[in-house]
Amino acid sequence: MSENKVRIYDIMACNVYVDYDFASVNKQHKLLVAFYPLRDVFVPDLIESITAYGPKGYTKEIKNQEYNLKNVNGYITDKAFGSCWYMINLPTSFMEEGEYKIEVKCKNGDVVSKSRYQKSAPGEKLVSAYLKHKNTIYNSYTPGTVNAMPKGTPLEHVKVKWLTLKDAAGVDAYYIYRISQGSKSTEFNIQSLTWWDNVFVQRLSDPNYGLNKGSVTTSRLQPNMSYAYFVETTDSNAMGETNICIFQQHQIFSTPRVAQKAASTASAR
């Protein structure tokens, strides 16, 4: 039974600057709780409720439902690691400084929680630098919306690169990359990622993983397919130490068609 105990991996309670093209509010904040994987058990089946507490009576409920871009509140499954995490995005404002706690009540009566202290200064520094250079950074993504993927590009291991805040403004930051199939920003599917660079796990083997990282090499991509991706900029590669996340605008690109030489030759015969 111990294998089926709900255990918190880490939490986030931090500010988010959302620069999506469809975002109506830029200054937001989010609450997130990530769990250790469980063998043969779906974590949401064990959860009764999840509540976040903060300064001045702050209280928010994270719902036990599947997260999507419409409800922005619920669980996300990570097929790569067999894990599950819950998140709520709150398009109200940045959070106040102070201690935040996320408490999880389980159906078996267990209660687990984790706390962190949110600071404002790191976010102010990162957002200020980003806004000064956002257009240059946006145009640097290759392949991306501005820089199309050249015909004949091998799809086994696709390298994606961009300008970092270290390059543009001398400011240190960490970078998280996520890609899914999609021909526009609203089609990006966080529940079905093609690949992502999970710095929060990679840091366990490399404490500086993601720091000033201006490129990734993805897994194999499909030919003649549209992909949507975005890069999240943070001040830490540890969830519980993160004070700011910048959700950069989505990038869209299409992979080239694969030449049907073999099929053409066969038909000619």
- 87-137 residue pLDDT tens: 999 999 999 999 999 999 999 999 999 999 999 999 999 999 999 999 999
Q: Which pLDDT band, with edges at 50, 70 and 90, does 181 fall under?
A: very high
Burial degree of 53 (CB within 10 A; 0-12, 13-18, 19+): middle
pLDDT of res. 80: 67
| Domain-located, residue 261 | no
Residue at a domain's end among 82, 99, 118: 118
Answer yes or no: are the C-beta atoms of 97 and 120 closer than 8 Å. yes
Q: Which residues contact 47 (CB under 8 A, 6 or more apart)?
A: 6, 64, 104, 105, 106, 107
| Domain-located, residue 267 | no
Pairing of strands 8-18, 244-247: parallel
| Domain-located, residue 263 | no
Q: Nearest-CA neighbor of 163 among 147, 139, 185, 144?
A: 139
pLDDT surpassing 70 at residue 142: yes
pLDDT in tens, 19-62: 999 999 999 999 999 999 998 899 999 999 999 999 999 999 99
More confident residue, 258 or 208: 208
What would the two tokens of residue 42 be? 């779906």
Distance from the Cα of residue 187 to its chain's centroid = 15
Read off the CATH number of the domain in which 39 is found: 2.60.40
Q: How many angstroms separate the CA atoms of 29 and 31, rounded?
A: 7
Number of domains in the chain: 2
- Is the same domain home to 103 and 201? no
Read off the CATH number of the domain in which 189 is found: 2.60.40.10
Size of the chain in residues:
269
- Is the same domain home to 131 and 149? yes
What would the two tokens of residue 4 be? 């089926």
- Is the same domain home to 9 and 64? yes
Host domain of residue 49: 2-118
pLDDT of res. 4: 82
pLDDT of res. 81: 67
| Domain-located, residue 224 | yes
pLDDT in tens, 209-263: 999 999 999 999 999 999 999 999 999 999 999 999 999 999 999 999 875 444 4
Q: Which pLDDT band, with edges at 50, 70 and 90, does 3 fall under?
A: low
What would the two tokens of residue 140 be? 């640097």
Rg (C-alpha) for the chain, rounded Å, is 20
The Cβ-side half-sphere exposure at 32, using a 13 Å CA radius, reads 26
DSSP element (H, E) containing 87:
strand 83-90
Rounded average pLDDT over 148-169: 96
| Domain-located, residue 232 | yes
| Domain-located, residue 268 | no
The Cβ-side half-sphere exposure at 218, using a 13 Å CA radius, reads 24
- Is the same domain home to 198 and 125? yes
pLDDT surpassing 70 at residue 265: no
pLDDT of res. 259: 57
Residue at a domain's end among 118, 144, 179: 118
Q: How many angstroms separate the CA atoms of 77 and 189, rounded?
A: 12
- Is the same domain home to 163 and 96? no
- Is the same domain home to 45 and 150? no
pLDDT surpassing 50 at residue 149: yes
- Is the same domain home to 102 and 130? no
Residue at a domain's end among 72, 100, 118: 118
